[in-house]
Chains A and B, each alone.
Chain A
Amino acid sequence: MSDRVSIKIPRPLYVRLQQVIGGESGFSSPTDFIVFVLRDLVGTLEPERTGELSDDELVAVRKKLENLGYL
């Protein structure tokens, strides 16, 4: 089974993309560009991980810092 699937997009958009990425964009094809944009977009739609500590982690961190003599 191929690792790739085909997705249809309007031809005018495809032609426009060809023109846009023709310069020094760093993308070698409209497909490259579309995959890049979609991957980026999907990333923003996934639940955001936060740098916040959970309640259990807070207890553990506090204990660790107390053991180090910092708290």
Chain B
Amino acid sequence: MIKAHGGRLISRIANDAEQERWRAELPNLKHVTVNARELSDVAMIATGAMSPLEGFMERRDYEHVCEHGRLANGLPWTIPITLAVSSEMIAAENISIDDTVALQGEDGTVYAIMEIADIYKVDKDHEAQSVLKTTDTAHPGVAYLQKTGDTCLGGRITMLQRPANIEFEDFRLDPRETRFLFKEKGWDTIAAFQTRNPIHRAHEYLQKCALELVDALLIHPIMGETKSDDIPADVRLECYNALLKGYYPAGRVAMSILPAAMRYAGPREAVFHAIVRKNYGCTHFIVGRDHAGVGGYYGTYDAHHIFKEFEALEIGITPLFFDHAFFCNSCNNMASQKTCPHDSDQHVFLSGTRIRDMLSNGESLPAEFTRPEISEILQRHYSNETTSVSS
């Protein structure tokens, strides 16, 4: 079984004795409210999905990540995992280094405790430029940064209660659970597929190409915070289930949701996504065109090129790079720019806008573009959306 990033799968979930101890202590602790993304980070850290992180980053790691795409100890890590608060809040609550604080959600529920090891100011523009490669506030990652506080709390966390996500509870597998599954199934090589969208024929093609090379496929859709115009998680889940039922070999494919928030950091997030999947026990990671991109901020294959900045062994998981895939009318099958000799007018391509327009107008998407079952689910979603907007 592939080792977790840094060599050890982290667990920061409170055991019974810790639960009892910290629950009794809660009335005496200062409370810090975390937002939805930070809460999902708590769960990711605690379950080992972000191994070797044991908490929110301290300044040294944060700066190294921004500058070099590595933790302070040199281990590749490309996305800052921070807990940002306002300096006014720190002053008002009198929070200082070596305090232990309770992390509560916006609903007031305490989900974790955190041992404050560092308090530091951040330069948001510098972080945005280093990590997201832009300071344009139209970029959702930059917009998020601008909304957060200017000071970060760093330190180890211990999760007391998992954030509720009851709707998808059955499909959520922690890293140690996917690792158990892979071991039980006897799968030595597993390719992970990251997605935040419904799976169309092009994605299916990439997955099946990968499946020709490895023992199994883990479809691992992100179900944390996404953009407001992304397809809602429940609709995507329905699409995934329909696709798996109809078109995939049941004994070689599993699906589990990833409770992470999207950063839309393009190439940097591609490396981050790969490392996270290594922690889930996957040996390969599919990287398509414009992975984790948004708008026109990143080059089509920047997410491929960034892997060259690291030694293969230090990343550990093997990236499988795929070019833009499509159905070619002349080839009469799925292909990519690597395999198809025909002009683009033979390729079935629909822009996001065109897809939304067709579905909103009750039109089916072409079978060459998406499976009929998926088209039907999406049509229903857009029809409901149109109805609720007009009523």
Hey, which bits of chain A sit against chain B, CB under 8 A? 3-4, 26, 35, 39, 43, 48-53, 58, 61-62, 64-65, 67-71
Contact = CB atoms under 8 A, between A and B. Distances in A.
Contact of B180 (A3, A43, A53, A68): A53
Given A53-B177, A64-B170, 14 more contacts: A3-B98, A26-B59, A26-B63, A39-B117, A49-B10, A49-B12, A51-B8, A51-B10, A51-B48, A51-B176, A61-B177, A65-B173, A67-B170, A68-B171
A70 to B, nearest CB: 5
Contacts of A4: 98
B9 A51 contact: yes
29 contacts: A3-B98, A3-B99, A4-B98, A26-B72, A39-B117, A43-B54, A43-B156, A48-B8, A49-B11, A49-B13, A51-B4, A51-B8, A51-B48, A51-B176, A53-B176, A53-B177, A62-B184, A64-B173, A65-B173, A65-B177, A65-B180, A65-B184, A67-B170, A68-B170, A68-B171, A68-B254, A69-B250, A70-B181, A70-B185
B176 A3 contact: no
Interface residues of B, number: 32
Interface in B97-130: 97-99, 117
A60 B27 CA distance: 32
Contact of A65 (B8, B10, B181): B181
A62 B184 CA distance: 10
Given A3-B96, A70-B254, A51 B177 contact: no
Contacts of B4: 51
Interface string B71-90: 01000000000000000000
Interface of B: 4, 8-13, 48, 54, 59-60, 63, 72, 96-99, 117, 156, 170-171, 173, 175-177, 179-181, 184-185, 250, 254
**Per DSSP, are chain A's interface residues mostly helix, strand or loop, or mixed?**
loop
Contacts of B175: 51
B57 to A, nearest CB: 13
Contacts of B96: 3
Given A3-B98, A51-B175, A71 B181 contact: yes
A43 B180 CA distance: 27
A64 B98 CA distance: 39
A26 B60 contact: yes
B67 to A, nearest CB: 11
